[in-house]
Amino acid sequence: MGDAGDSCVGDFTVVVQVGSLKWNLMMKSNGDGSSKKYSVKFQLRGHNILDEVPITFVSYNETRTSDHQELCGPVLDAMHLG
């Protein structure tokens, strides 16, 4: 998770939900393109390999650029499922 280097300053929180499992991922953004690497590992029990299981990423914070003119938020990149 990171910021786009667009002067987006503040606390970022992204909730990751896989089925009924949830994780809160947090980072402090300085607006300079910084990032923090996260790894979420899960194993769904009681599901058939063919079952569809939703994977959701939600940002709950309202963050603005340092001049307070535009809404901005976290950037998520390099997702891997295996």
Give the pLDDT confidence score for residue 42 in this predicted structure: 87
> 14-73, pLDDT tens digit by residue?
999 998 899 999 999 888 999 999 999 988 777 777 788 899 999 987 788 878 788 888
Structural domain span for residue 58: 9-72
Residue 2 resides in a domain: no
Q: Please tell me the pTM assigned to this model.
A: 0.79
Residue 16 resides in a domain: yes
Dist CA 50 CA 54 (whole Å): 13
**Confidence tier at 9 by pLDDT (50, 70, 90):** confident
Residue 40 resides in a domain: yes
Residue 38 resides in a domain: yes
Q: At a CB cut-off of 8 Å and minimum separation 6, what does 55 contact?
A: 16, 17, 18, 81
| Maximal CA-CA distance, the chain | 50
Residue 63 phi/psi, 5-degree rounding, is: -120, 145
In the chain, the number of structural domains is 1
Residue 46 resides in a domain: yes
